[in-house]
């Protein structure tokens, strides 16, 4: 009887938006709002402008009344805006959200409308890629005699301007566009596994199949570290051996600076 052995992988997507070519990314990209045209600090003005809009949004009498039911005294709001080359927000890749499930269901759509409809005059230091702008806000909720007052409070990381992210590149994928690099990475990862794969003898004898979930970090030097796995112990041994044979990558970058980034592979073993 012929035994067929299959191995399949699926690469989880990164949580960032990545660039499309090798470029020097500095200076930092900045949004210029019509309301901030005369500001000496464009990024700070954008942050404070949106902060005032969100504060007014939360202090609306109907929303303030609903917030009386909110049990905590602080509220967290975050936004992730991805702009295309026409300085338009890519809504399918962007979001604005309240860090509370119930409040989020009720108000996230209205928050997105607030963040997405900015009166942008221009974006300076623009790069020929999609760019990521992230905003973080916290608000103190004061409740007195059946009323609420929402005031903004300082956060450690608020907003410093746009950032360009670039995925790690497999050797041979360095000069490709973002989508080409993603496809190239997956194809080369699949070929790497197929080339080095040996179904463990003990697993064949014991008729062991299953999935090994592998998480590792590609560090700022492009090498793999911090490998963690979940699955059958025998299958884990083979998965670890294969991961340890991965080549050195071109590391991921944020604004041109190498950074470490996590990566995941669910590796399916089938007899």
Polymer length in residues for the chain: 271
pLDDT for res 10? 40
194 C-beta neighbours (distance < 10 Å), count: 11
Residue labelled with tokens 């949580």: 15
Compute the distance between CA of residue 45 and CA of residue 38 in angstroms, rounded to an integer: 10
Question: Which uninterrupted H or E stretch holds 133?
Answer: strand 131-144
CATH class assigned to 6-20+166-270: alpha beta
> Is the Cβ–Cβ distance between 54 and 110 less than 8 Å?
no
In the numeric block, which tokens belong to residue 162? 């746009």
> Which residues have C-beta within 8 Å of that of residue 34, sequence separation ≥ 6?
119, 120, 121
pLDDT for res 27? 62
Residue spans of the domains in the chain: they are: 6-20+166-270, 30-162
Helix (H, G, I), strand (E, B) or coil at 73: coil
> Is the Cβ–Cβ distance between 58 and 150 less than 8 Å?
yes
pLDDT along the chain (271 residues), means of 10: 41 35 54 88 91 90 77 89 86 91 90 92 79 89 80 82 81 82 90 93 93 94 96 95 96 84 89 82
């Amino acid at each position: 009887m012929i035994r067929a052995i299959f191995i399949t992988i699926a690469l989880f997507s990164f949580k960032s938006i990545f660039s499309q070519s090798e470029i020097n990314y500095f200076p930092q990209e900045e949004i210029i709002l019509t309301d901030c045209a005369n500001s000496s600090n464009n990024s700070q003005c954008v942050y404070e402008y949106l902060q005032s809009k969100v504060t007014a949004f939360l202090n609306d009498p109907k929303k303030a009344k609903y917030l009386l039911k909110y049990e905590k005294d602080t509220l967290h709001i975050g936004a992730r805006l991805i702009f295309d080359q026409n300085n338009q927000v890519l809504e399918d890749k962007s979001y604005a959200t309240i860090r509370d499930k119930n409040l989020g269901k009720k108000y996230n759509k209205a928050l997105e409308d607030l963040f997405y409809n900015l009166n942008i005059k221009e974006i300076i230091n623009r790069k020929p890629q999609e760019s990521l702008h992230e905003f973080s806000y916290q608000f103190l909720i004061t409740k007195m005699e059946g009323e609420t007052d929402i005031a903004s409070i300082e956060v450690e990381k608020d907003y410093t301007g746009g950032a360009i992210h670039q995925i790690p590149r497999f050797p041979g994928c360095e000069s490709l566009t973002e989508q080409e690099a993603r496809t190239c990475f997956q194809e080369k990862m699949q070929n790497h596994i197929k080339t080095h794969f040996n179904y463990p003898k003990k697993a064949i004898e014991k008729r062991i199949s299953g999935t090994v979930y592998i998480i590792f970090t590609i560090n700022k030097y492009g090498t793999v570290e911090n490998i963690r796995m979940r699955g059958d112990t025998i299958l884990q041994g083979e998965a670890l051996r294969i991961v340890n044979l991965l080549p050195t990558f071109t590391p991921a970058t944020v604004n041109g600076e190498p950074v470490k980034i996590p990566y995941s592979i669910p590796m399916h073993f089938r007899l």
